Each structure stands twice: as C-alpha cells, then as structure tokens.
Amino acid sequence: MISVQEVSEKKERSSTLWTPQVAVFPLSFSLPEGRFGRWNTLQRKQDFAHIIPGNTNTYIYKTEKEYYNGYAEAWFGITMKKSGWDCFRHYEIIAAGSMPYFLDHSSVPKNVLHNFPMSIIRQSMELPGVPTQNEVIAQMNNGSTESLKINRNIFNETEYYRLLDELTVYAVENLTWERTAQYLLDQIHNLYPCMEDPRILMITTQDCDYQSCVLFGGFYSLLGAEKMSSYFGPKRDLFQQFQKKNMYGNGFSYSNVFDNEWNVEEMDKLTKRRLNDGFFNMIVFTNSANSWCSLDQYFSNQLSEQRLLFEYRETYNPLVVTVDGSDIDGCHEFSFGSDKSFTYHAQFVREYHSKNISDLTEWTGCQAEDRR
C-alpha cells in the first residue's frame, strides 16, 4: 500500500546539487509528435482516469487507442515516481489531452524532469475542489478511482481549461522526440560552436529502452539516414516494416512511428563506409534497460570491431557523448575499458545523482572539422 508519508510535502529534496561542470546536462523523456492531441476531443466521463500506477489490476487496456482514450475521458490522470522520477505516463496523460495529477511532485530532485511543466500541473492540482494528495492516495489504496470526485460547487472549470491549453501548447513545443534531440545538439553547439553539421554514429541496442529510443527517434526525425547511422542497426520497434514481439508496455507510445523503410543491409554497408571515410564527427553511446554501460558489453564478441572504433577515435577525434537513461538503481557510468585514449566529452543524464558524474575531457576536435 502507498502511505501518506510517501507523498509528504515536507519530504526533503535530494541533497545533491547540479554540478557546475558545463559538460553534464539533464535529459528527459518525450513522445513522438504524432502522439499528441489524437484523442483529446472525447467527452469527459470521469474525474480521475481508471489506471492506478503500480496496480496491475487497473491495466485493462489492450490497444494504444483504448489506453489513450482512458485518459482522454478523464479530467485528471494519476502519475508518480516509479523506478525513476521520469516516466512515459506523465507525457501520455498530456498527449491524451488530460491533466497529470503528479503525486509528491515537490520531491522531484533538482534537474530531474528538467523541462517538465510542473508549475502548470501543480496549479491544476491546487484548484479549489480538486482532491488532496492524501485523499487520492487513500482511494488508490482501495484499488479504485471511482470515488475520487471533484467538488463541482467550487471547481473553476474555466481555469482548468486555461491551464490545460497552456500545457498542450507547451508539450507540442517542448516535449517531442525531435525537440529532445535538438536540445542535446544545442547544448553541444553551445559548448563547441564549431559543431554546426553533426553527423552522428549511435552505439545503442536494437531494443527500445525509452531514453535511447527517444534519442534515436529524435535524431532520425532531425537528420535522417543522411546524417546518422546506428552501429548495431535500427530500433526496430520504431519502424512499421519490422515485425514486433515482446515490446515493453505493449509498444504503447513509441512503436510504429516511422513508415519509411530502414534497409538494414544497405545501411550497415553505408555505416562501414562512413567509418572508413571519417564521416562521423559525433559518437553517441547509450545505456539500455539499466545495463549496457560499457563498450566491452556492446562488443564482447566483436573485438576486431571494437578495435575499429578505437582506431576511428584516434584517427578522426570525434566528439563523444554518453547518454545515461537508466532508472535510479541502474548503472550510471559508461566504461571504455582499459584503453584510456577513449574518453567522452559530454554526458546527458535522466535520473541525476552524485555518482552520475565522471571525469570528462575537453574536446579538441574543432580543428578537425576544417577537413570537410
């Protein structure tokens, strides 16, 4: 059961403050642009959506459309910290056209959910007539949201819809995959203004871990195959052409985003040619599913290809970026093994805490950009 103490407004924030190192940045989830606003015209039928986070008895929806409709028909959708503070559900509620009711929002650590519109959500939760967090938790512990009611006698519906409109506009402008990828590239450009034409090689799994899929989808939307490659192939769940199986969360909100085809054989050949030609000026490493936090894990059976990557680093000096999308209890370092010549120059972190921070080196590759 959830306790009142778990959402106490007096709960202390994380004592860890964001490092002054400019090469470490926060990063958050987002959704494909096409997910926003698809079903937000449905009539409101209930005050709080049926789904209770963590209560699998309430996970009743079999299709993505039914899932989104469940939120679209409610004034509020309950959300909260799970394995990390950042969670797809926050964004899905917004995309459905509902308002997140974010439990314990005051305890979100600094620079986690760095661009999430918490102020708008807090204002909506504090509108007269909206149940308190303690009242919401009590009904969650009873296993149902049916008794959670807004007091219509004092509820300001006009103000609710004003906040909802503000939230929707903000989300479309800031909480899409493309915008997340652009944010990463903007931070890199601020550090190194010479990086004006990013050509990216992603080292990531084919499985669709949320953060790595957000960036893959964002880079692909921004740059296309003309300016990006993925060493181990595409995130197959994102492309309509590939058969899907065993997708996390049934693939809701991230599967079948792209209808154009990724020719695996041709793209693999192109990636190898690009490595031979020195095409890439940025390499982005991601972890996945709280694992895949070392180069050795990626190349355990492909040592010659790992050596190729090291040789590329030594020859062409690309900018190296690591993306830590792990949950709070996941791995938070990316290891390049014993070869100290392979270091990284910027780190993007989803769930910030002190051991995220590693020794970073300054990139000296601006001069190399003159070669192209």
Q: How would you label 102-113 residue by residue, b for 16+ Cβ within 10 Å and e otherwise?
A: bbbbebbbebbb
Cα separation, 230 vs 219, whole angstroms = 11
Residue 59's contacts (CB-CB under 8 Å, 6 or more residues apart) are 51
- Tens digit of pLDDT for each residue in 224-260? 999 999 999 999 999 999 988 889 889 999 999 999 8
pLDDT beyond 70 at 174: yes
Portion of the chain with pLDDT greater than 90, in percent: 74
Q: How would you label 182-204 residue by residue, b for 16+ Cβ within 10 Å and e otherwise?
A: ebbbebbeebbeebeebbbbbbb
Burial, 300: exposed, middle or buried (Cβ in 10 Å; 0-12, 13-18, 19+)?
A: exposed
Task: Tell me phi and psi for residue 11, to 5 degrees.
Answer: -60, 135
pTM here is 0.91
Going 101 to 107 to 110 to 111, the CA torsion angle's sign is: negative
For residue 63, what pLDDT is reported?
94
- CA quadruple 298, 176, 22, 369: dihedral, nearest 10: 70
Cα separation, 143 vs 52, whole angstroms = 8
What is the DSSP pairing of strand 282-286 with strand 228-230? unpaired
Q: If DSSP states are collapsed to H, E and C, what string results for 75-97? A: EEEEECCCCCCCCHHHHHHHHCC
Residue 279 near residue 199, CB atoms below 8 Å: yes
How many CB atoms neighbour CB 37 within 10 A? Answer: 16
For residue 371, what pLDDT is reported?
40
For residue 76, what pLDDT is reported?
98
Residue 50 near residue 145, CB atoms below 8 Å: yes
Q: 345: pLDDT confidence band, cut at 50, 70 and 90?
A: very high
Q: In the 8-state DSSP scheme, what is residue 365? A: -
pLDDT beyond 50 at 198: yes
User: Crossing angle for the helix pair 88-95 and 157-174, nearest 10 degrees?
Assistant: 120
- Tens digit of pLDDT for each residue in 292-304? 999 889 988 777 8
Cα separation, 148 vs 142, whole angstroms = 11
How many CB atoms neighbour CB 240 within 10 A? Answer: 12
- For residue 286 the two structure tokens come to 């991601």
Task: Tell me phi and psi for residue 288, to 5 degrees.
Answer: -160, 135
- Tens digit of pLDDT for each residue in 107-132? 998 889 999 999 999 999 999 999 99
